[in-house]
């Protein structure tokens, strides 16, 4: 181990000690790659959650009245604290989630955390003058919603936590954050680092199971839920909101399609196609999960992607050489391998991969390209959320759009073409919250992101993201004549 790697491991151990449950209590959390126990997550209960919400409520007024300037300054300090601890947090994240340090993975995720938080801190949400005439002055202002519940998934646990809590804190809300039961330790460590600079009880982590998540969503004293996770859980949260009328932002499952248009120069796009699908070893909400390729370039695309898949290093994330890692958990591994087996049995061609990489560890699955697959195969119609890309051949462009749009989710999508005008026209035909041209999955802290159809509702990022964690108030008074 190099000196810097040893220093990061030691700093990660210190962070872990700050957040993990005392010996003999809590729940063991495995290293995703080696399955060794990393540490113990506190097993907070529904009663702990109720207390946390009470504390967050008590802290909210002072946090809101602190004002935007001071809150922004504190959030900028929190971003600095994340940067100062980035290597330690990346180390812990890499072990717990499985994603390698290198590539668009753990260090990249930490970089996004501080970048998004800084943007949250410095973005201004102006009030709007609606009418200003002789008889009326009416203004729309944005106020804190109150106490926000942040419920996160296990795939980009730190970055998604920041997406939820950064705007919420910026707008003067206090937050109770519940990470996924699969990746609690790295999120608890991130929050501990932020809490070194934030006032007490403004941001409270709760490490519990699905019962705690359900209670957070249905709690009578929660004003807003920021949720990222599966569509099934999103539906439960909508049901809960009938009880407490909590506002919701729901970033749910996707099954993003990409379409390669006729005549596209394959060598220009192959790398970006690969990473559009295999970022975070395919465990990304807005990764490309189905690729439709025109007959004229089909074989070339399949061969190029198979070649990249075979030459991209997979393995333990702490090895600087690796850029692909394991599946994070056994249920997800079983979904991916089951869908590939089903595709193979139906006559699809597994060009590369299609097997567990048992030499690397229990939850590694080789990057897999499946060609000559029917559009109605499970691997195409369901979200695989792992390193297995189905590539569907088409000859009629209208058919490709019908297939791409023929699912009940619509998070992201992409069109690929060497002709900019063709690409723009094609983009307008895709049914998804975001359409990328000649790339897939790139996000920016000022560009709103959100799904349509069963991929959820509400926008995150930028000015729209600040609006999502606010409530509006209209202030209506006398117009110019009466002033
Ligand atoms: P999940 O829905 O199983 O769990 C997400 C979180 O919800 C966890 O913290 C869990 O404890 C909690 N939870 C479980 N039951 C709950 C309930 N009844 N009420 C409230 N909370 C409850 O999702 P996951 O398996 O962690 O994440 C994978 C899924 O998330 C995929 O479908 C993926 O597409 C989606 N995802 C979407 C985005 C996006 O931005 N749209 C981003 C990442 C992941």
Encode the chain (483 residues) as per-residue pLDDT tens digits.
788 899 999 999 999 999 999 988 999 999 999 999 999 999 999 999 999 999 999 999 999 999 999 999 999 999 999 999 999 999 999 999 999 999 999 999 999 999 999 999 999 999 999 999 999 999 999 999 999 999 999 999 999 999 999 999 999 999 999 999 999 999 999 999 999 999 999 999 999 999 999 999 999 999 999 999 999 999 999 999 999 999 999 999 999 999 999 999 999 999 999 999 999 999 999 999 999 999 999 999 999 999 999 999 999 999 999 999 999 999 999 999 999 999 999 999 999 999 999 999 999 999 999 999 999 999 999 999 999 999 999 999 999 999 999 999 999 999 999 999 999 999 999 999 999 999 999 999 999 999 999 999 999 999 999 999 999 999 999 998 877
Give, in order, the Cα–Cα distances in Å from 289 to each of 90, 197, 455, 476.
26, 40, 14, 49
Is 113 annotated as catalytic? Answer: no
Q: What is the model's pTM? A: 0.97
Ligand 1 lined by 453 (C-beta under 6 Å): no
pLDDT at 415: 98
| 405-426 burial: b if 16+ Cβ within 10 Å, else e | eebebbbbbbbbbeeeebbeeb
d(CA 105, CA 191): 20
Ligand 1 lined by 184 (C-beta under 6 Å): no
d(CA 217, CA 244): 9
pLDDT at 207: 97
Helix (H) or strand (E) holding 204: strand 203-205
Q: What fold does the segment set 3-252+455-472 form as a domain?
A: Aldehyde Dehydrogenase; Chain A, domain 1 (3.40.605)
Ligand 1 lined by 256 (C-beta under 6 Å): no
Q: What fold does the segment set 256-437 form as a domain?
A: Aldehyde Dehydrogenase; Chain A, domain 2 (3.40.309)
Is 285 annotated as catalytic? Answer: yes
Q: Which two tokens stand for residue 424?
A: 């723009």
pLDDT at 97: 98
d(CA 342, CA 142): 51
- Catalytic choice (87, 96, 181, 251): 251
Among residues 362, 305, 322, which one has the least CA distance to residue 103?
322
Q: Which two tokens stand for residue 391?
A: 């590539």
Say yes or no: do domains 3-252+455-472 and 256-437 share a fold.
no
Q: Are 251 and 228 in contact (CB under 8 A)?
A: yes
- Catalytic choice (96, 109, 113, 285): 285
Domain ranges of the chain: 3-252+455-472, 256-437
d(CA 247, CA 22): 36
pLDDT at 268: 97
Distance of CA 201 to the CA centre of its chain: 25
């Amino acid at each position: 181990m190099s000196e810097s790697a040893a220093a990061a491991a030691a700093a990660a151990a210190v962070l872990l000690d700050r957040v993990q449950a005392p010996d003999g209590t809590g729940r063991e959390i495995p290293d995703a790659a080696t399955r060794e126990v990393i540490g113990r997550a506190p097993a907070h209960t529904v009663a702990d959650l109720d207390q946390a919400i009470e504390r967050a409520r008590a802290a909210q007024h002072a946090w809101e009245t602190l004002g935007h300037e001071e809150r922004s300054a504190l959030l900028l300090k929190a971003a600095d604290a994340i940067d100062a601890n980035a290597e330690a947090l990346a180390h812990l994240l890499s072990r717990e989630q499985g994603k390698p340090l290198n590539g668009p993975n753990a260090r990249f995720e930490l970089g996004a955390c501080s970048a998004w938080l800084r943007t949250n801190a410095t973005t201004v949400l102006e009030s709007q003058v609606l009418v200003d005439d002789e008889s009326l002055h009416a203004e729309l202002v944005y106020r804190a919603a109150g106490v926000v519940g942040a419920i996160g998934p296990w795939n980009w646990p730190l970055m998604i936590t920041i997406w939820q809590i950064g705007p919420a804190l910026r707008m003067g809300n206090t937050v109770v954050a519940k990470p996924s039961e699969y990746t609690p330790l790295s999120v608890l460590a991130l929050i501990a680092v932020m809490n070194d600079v934030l006032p007490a009880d403004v941001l409270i982590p709760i490490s519990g199971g699905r019962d705690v998540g359900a209670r957070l969503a249905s709690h009578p004293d929660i004003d807003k839920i920021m949720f990222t996770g599966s569509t099934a859980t999103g539906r439960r949260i909508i049901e809960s909101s009938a009880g407490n009328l909590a506002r919701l932002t729901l970033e749910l499952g996707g099954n993003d399609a990409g379409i390669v248009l006729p005549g596209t120069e394959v060598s220009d796009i192959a790398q970006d196609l690969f990473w559009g699908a295999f970022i975070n070893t395919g465990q990304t909400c807005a990764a490309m999960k189905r690729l439709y390729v025109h007959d004229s370039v089909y074989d070339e695309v399949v061969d190029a992607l198979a070649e990249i898949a075979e030459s991209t290093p997979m393995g333990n994330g702490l090895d600087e050489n690796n850029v692909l890692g394991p599946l994070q958990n056994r249920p997800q591994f079983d979904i991916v391998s089951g869908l590939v087996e089903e595709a193979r049995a139906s006559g699809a061609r597994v060009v590369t991969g299609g097997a567990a990489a048992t030499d690397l560890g229990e939850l590694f699955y080789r990057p897999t390209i499946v060609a000559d697959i029917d559009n109605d195969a499970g691997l195409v119609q369901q979200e695989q959320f792992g390193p297995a890309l189905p590539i569907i051949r088409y000859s009629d462009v209208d058919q490709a759009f019908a297939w791409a749009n023929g699912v009940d989710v619509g998070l992201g999508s992409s069109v690929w073409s060497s002709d900019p005008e063709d690409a723009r026209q094609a983009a307008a035909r895709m049914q998804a919250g975001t359409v990328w041209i000649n790339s897939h999955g790139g996000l920016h802290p000022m560009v709103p992101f959100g799904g349509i159809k069963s991929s959820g509702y509400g926008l995150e990022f930028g000015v729209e993201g600040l609006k999502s964690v606010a409530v509006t108030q209209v202030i209506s008074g006398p117009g110019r004549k009466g002033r």
